[in-house]
Amino acid sequence: MAARVGLLLPHALLVSSARALPTPRARLPYPPPPIPTYRRRASSSSSASRPRRASPRLLAVRAMASGNPYAAELSAAKKAVTLAARLCKTVQQDIVHSGVQAKADKSPVTVADYGSQILVSLALKMDVASGPFSLVAEEDSEELRKEGAEEILEDITDLVNETIVDDGSYNISFTKEGILSAIDDGKSEGGPSGRHWVLDPIDGTKGFLRGHQYAIALALLDEGKVVLGVLACPNLPLSSINNLNGNSSGDQVGALFSATIGCGAEVESLYGSPPQKISVCSIDNPVNASFFESYESAHSMHDLTGSIAEKLGVQAPPVRIDSQAKYGALARGDGAIYLRFPHKGYREKIWDHAAGSIVVTEAGGIVTDAAGNDLDFSKGRFLDLDTGIIATNKNLMPSLLKAVQEAIKETNQATSLL
């Protein structure tokens, strides 16, 4: 399997892998013509073993019957992140630390980042009604266009095309130039007007590389407001988290969270199951609360969150997991509070919070910055906010805001004395 992904292996070894790549179809320039087939390949043993998922068109019809104004977009978004999750699981299981490139900001990016973004872009273009397409996404093709990146580009092309063939929904194949073009679909700047999809192709890259939690996070902005969000969390238990690492003890793994404005939030199996309504916990005493924070101390100031928890009287240790999986877990009541306080100088990107925030708010929670302001996703690719992001239920928010502001004030005073 590692040879099939083949990020660091010569082409000769790719050909001799245990499961060879399928015979390539005629490759088409990007974007492909709109000819989805919506059928599974009976010859694919992997697809035969999975529950059958209804087609995006059928899901859209069902959702429209329920009064969801973004029904077609919701079904397409679910399909998009599910397809991307399939590719990501293959890469995570096969190579973990192989094929990592360093971006300018020193955070790692893998072949799965690129492949996930391509597949989401493809699915949205194929399944959402025609019209202007705008995608605000994390990756671009700059690194892949540089000299020496030819082998990785070929590997991404092969992996994406193999995933499409195995899934069987689309009768298309990418050229290398089509791959680069598809990645650059994500260069939109967003903004307050029109509709913009917002994507983090792998949120929680370090967790992905460790074999831990990550998410494919996709949201839709309409006139500057988040109106839809989906989170594919391949390693998150379908039922409640039952240990401090966010892992499962024999439970079914693979959760798909979704929310549409005014319609509530749901969770279902990433591999197909009836969606279930979810809601944040109803705890009103912070002593009984638990809180989520980033696994990596480089991503959030653990000393500050510890001070906040102490002021609240929280007794439970923090639950540290990667990615927007924290938002999903909070939305279904696995914990009561989410705290994120990046180090000074870091600017939050909209794709790091757009999908997760609407899942929490539609589950009855509140998501604000450290001053209690709503998050504003209409300003482009970055979030302009006060200090950090907090999320909890309506009962705990007043006391949480007070503790946050007191802890920040004390930290700032201590810093000024140094």
pLDDT digits (tens, 9 = 90+) for 137-178: 989 999 999 999 999 999 999 999 999 999 999 999 999 999
Rounded Cα distance between 413 and 170, Å, is: 58
**In terms of domains, do 266 and 390 share one?**
no
The yes-or-no verdict on residue 228 having pLDDT over 90 is yes
**In terms of domains, do 231 and 133 share one?**
yes
Out of 82, 113, 260, 322, the active site residue is 113
Q: Residue 400 corresponds to which amino acid?
A: L
Contacts of 252 (CB under 8 A, 6+ apart): 237, 238, 239, 269
Which residues are known binding-site members for Mg(2+)? 138, 200, 202-203, 352
Which CATH number belongs to the domain containing residue 403 in this structure?
3.40.190.80
Which among 138, 139, 136 has a CA at the least distance from the CA of 198? 136
With respect to residue 357, please indicate whether it lies within any of the assigned structural domains.
yes
Query: Under DSSP, is residue 148 helix (H, G, I), strand (E, B) or coil?
Result: coil
Domain boundary among 243, 259, 277: 277
113 noted as active-site residue: yes
Tokens of 18: 């245990």
**In terms of domains, do 227 and 309 share one?**
no
157 noted as active-site residue: no
Which CATH number belongs to the domain containing residue 130 in this structure?
3.30.540.10
**In terms of domains, do 223 and 74 share one?**
yes
**Number of domains observed in the structure of the chain:** 2
Which of residues 285 and 65 earns the better pLDDT score? 285
The DSSP 8-state label assigned to residue 336 in this structure reads S
Query: Looking at residue 103, what is its pLDDT?
Result: 55
pLDDT tens string 102-148: 555 434 467 899 999 999 999 999 999 678 899 999 899 999 999 99
pLDDT tens string 243-286: 545 554 457 899 999 999 999 999 999 998 999 999 999 999 99
Backbone angles phi, psi at 225, to 5 degrees: -110, 140
- Tell me the pTM: 0.82
Q: How many CB atoms lie within 10 A of CB 319?
A: 22
Query: Under DSSP, is residue 220 helix (H, G, I), strand (E, B) or coil?
Result: strand
Domain boundary among 277, 310, 333: 277
Domain boundary among 277, 300, 326: 277
**In terms of domains, do 212 and 294 share one?**
no
Out of 157, 163, 205, 392, the active site residue is 205
Rounded Cα distance between 358 and 328, Å, is: 10
Query: Under DSSP, is residue 352 helix (H, G, I), strand (E, B) or coil?
Result: helix
Which among 210, 233, 245 has a CA at the least distance from the CA of 92? 210
Q: Residue 225 corresponds to which amino acid?
A: K
**In terms of domains, do 383 and 258 share one?**
no
pLDDT tens string 75-102: 999 999 999 999 999 998 875 545 555 5
| Tokens 């653990």, residue located | 302
Which residues are known binding-site members? 138, 200, 202-203, 352
Rounded Cα distance between 173 and 184, Å, is: 17
> 208 is in which domain, residue-wise?
70-277
With respect to residue 198, please indicate whether it lies within any of the assigned structural domains.
yes
